[in-house]
Every structure is written in structure tokens, then in C-alpha cells.
Amino acid sequence: MPFDDRLIHIDKLDFSYDDRVILRDVSMEIPRGKLVAIMGNSGCGKTTLLRLIGGQLKPTGGFLSVDGQSVPDMPLSNLYALRRRIGMLFQFGALFTDISVFDNVAYPIREHTRLPEEIIYDLVLMKLNAVGLRGAQGLMPSELSGGMARRVALARAVALDPSLIMYDEPFTGLDPISMGVIGQLIRKLNDALGATTLLVTHDVQEALDLVDYVYFMSGGEVVAHGTPDEIRKASDPVVHQFVHGEADGPLRFHFPAPPFGAELMRERANA
């Protein structure tokens, strides 16, 4: 079988909850070793796409493979074997709140390997050192700031040296310094581990400075893709509005509603 340069291959993927369509006809190719961002406004289906890639949701149509294996058709045992090679950083870290920072990072290593405690200790310290939190190993998650919690979660996500790392909104709610630190860590970890990275975000400038390639989504569809420079210069009105943070454009600020005047008049008529 020829070596496939694409770690993730998505073709005409559809997903809906009952009648509500979330993703429509999405196609993507994520090459090995690259840092790729999936960008778009809130609710455009970015996080759903990550869950489909991780096998936590099943698509309603289309094709999705990771490392040449069709994810929706995998039995649970194969899916778990695949997930051991995937690290995922959740939006708010999802640290286990009843155990310390050290134990959080050690958790996947202890569950999946039979390494002696001395080696686990060294591995955990290395991971924590990489995110600058070796000194926080004894703290509980409740004692960490948002940025620190995200870094600990990052250390846990890469604890088993995954070949695919997925980040779900890693910059949300962070101050500019933490955002810069997390951004640098994402790039460094991708290069140092030789991993493929998928970054879901709506922080445009931070992501465009960081990634190799961008897929731009809106309303459950891929509306543009290209290198960061191509995205910056894109003429597509949705991408232009998003990249330049314009309030007015094809992406509406207001949720669909009847005309404001008519609604006010109806209220008065009812009074």
C-alpha cells in the first residue's frame, strides 16, 4: 500500500442532529507533520468536526479517515487504539479536579503503560517542564489560573507523544501573554514531536501567525482554504469580514427575528 501523505482525509462529510444540519459537504486533507487551523465563527461546526475525527460522533454521510482507517466504521477496540495516538486539548482543559497537576499528566501514562513509577515521574516532569509548570506539579487544578490549566492540559494531551494533536479553542479566555505562550507551545510541540496538529479556533491573528494552512468554515461548510497569506488576501466576503473583524457583512450579528418595529407594535397591541 503506498504511503499516504494525508493523515486525515475527509470527503463530502455531512452531519446533522435530527433535522438540524451542522456540517454539509465538508472536504479536507490534513497532511502529516503540518499545523492546520480550522477557523470560523461560533457555531459553524468546528468542534463537531473535531469530535467526528475523534470518533465521538458518527457522520450522517461522507467519508472520514485517519491514518488510512475509516473512523466511523471502526469497532470500539480499534477506535481506542487510534485514540491512544491522538492527544486532545479541550476548550477549558477538562483536568480531573480530584487529583493534582502531576497525577493529571501521569494519568494517561499510568492507564496505558506498565512503566515503573520512577520513569513515570521523569516523563511527567519532562512534559511539565516543556509547558513551564514543573514547579506547579503539586498544585490542585482549582489552584491554577485559566492559562496554567490550559498548559497542564496541554502537557497531559502530549503525555504519550501522540502523532495527532487536536486543540479545541485553546486561546479562549486567555490574556495576551498566556495566548502567546500557548501559541508558541503549540508550534514547538508540533515541530519537536513531528506530530500533525489540528487547531480549531476563532482567534484569527494568533492563528494566522502560527499555522501552515487554514480551512475556513461558515454555516457548516468549508468556504475557503489556503495558506495564511492567501486567507489574509481572500476576496470571499465571509472570510474578509471574519479576518478583519467587521460587524457588518454576510455574517449577521442578529439572530433571525421578525422586523423590530412590527414586534414592538404587537407588544403595544397586546398591552
Partner 1 sequence: MPERLFSAVAGLGHSLNNVFQRLGFAARFFMMLLRYSGQSFCRFRLTVREIYFSGFQSLLIMLVSSLFIGMVLGLQGFETLQRFGSADALGVMVALSLTRELGPVVAALLFASRAGSSITAEIGLMKATEQLMAMDMMAINPIARVVAPKFWGGVLSMPLLASLFSAIGIFGGYLIGVVFIGVDEGAFWSQMQGAVDFRFDIWNGIIKSFVFGIAVSLIAVFEGYDAIPTAEGVSASIRRTVVNSALTILALDFVLTSFMFRGL
Shortest Cβ distance from residue 110 to partner 1 (Å)?
Answer: 10
Contact 199, 35 (CB under 8 A): yes
**Position 172, amino acid:** T
Please name which of 47, 57, 130 lies closest in space to residue 90, comparing C-alpha atoms. 47
Backbone angles phi, psi at 173, to 5 degrees: 75, 15
Residue 74 as a binder of partner 1 (CB under 8 A): the answer is no
Residue 107 as a binder of partner 1 (CB under 8 A): the answer is yes
Residue 264 as a binder of partner 1 (CB under 8 A): the answer is no
Residue placing its CB nearer to partner 1 in the complex, 17 or 263: 17
Size of the site for partner 1 (CB under 8 A): 20
Shortest Cβ distance from residue 151 to partner 1 (Å)?
Answer: 15
Shortest Cβ distance from residue 195 to partner 1 (Å)?
Answer: 15
CA distance 30 to 86: 14
Residue 72 as a binder of partner 1 (CB under 8 A): the answer is no
Give kind and range of the element (H or E) at residue 104: helix 101-112
Residue placing its CB nearer to partner 1 in the complex, 18 or 248: 18
Please state, as a whole number, how many other Cβ atoms lie within 10 Å of the Cβ of residue 167. 26
Residue 112 as a binder of partner 1 (CB under 8 A): the answer is yes
Contact 46, 28 (CB under 8 A): no
Contact positions with partner 1 (CB under 8 A) in 84-103: 84, 86, 88, 90-92, 94-97
Residue 54 as a binder of partner 1 (CB under 8 A): the answer is yes
Residue placing its CB nearer to partner 1 in the complex, 141 or 228: 141
Q: Distances in Å between the alpha carbon of 161 and those of 6, 85, 114, 126?
A: 19, 8, 16, 12
Which residues bind to partner 1, rule: CB under 8 A?
54, 56, 79-81, 83-84, 86, 88, 90-92, 94-97, 107-108, 111-112
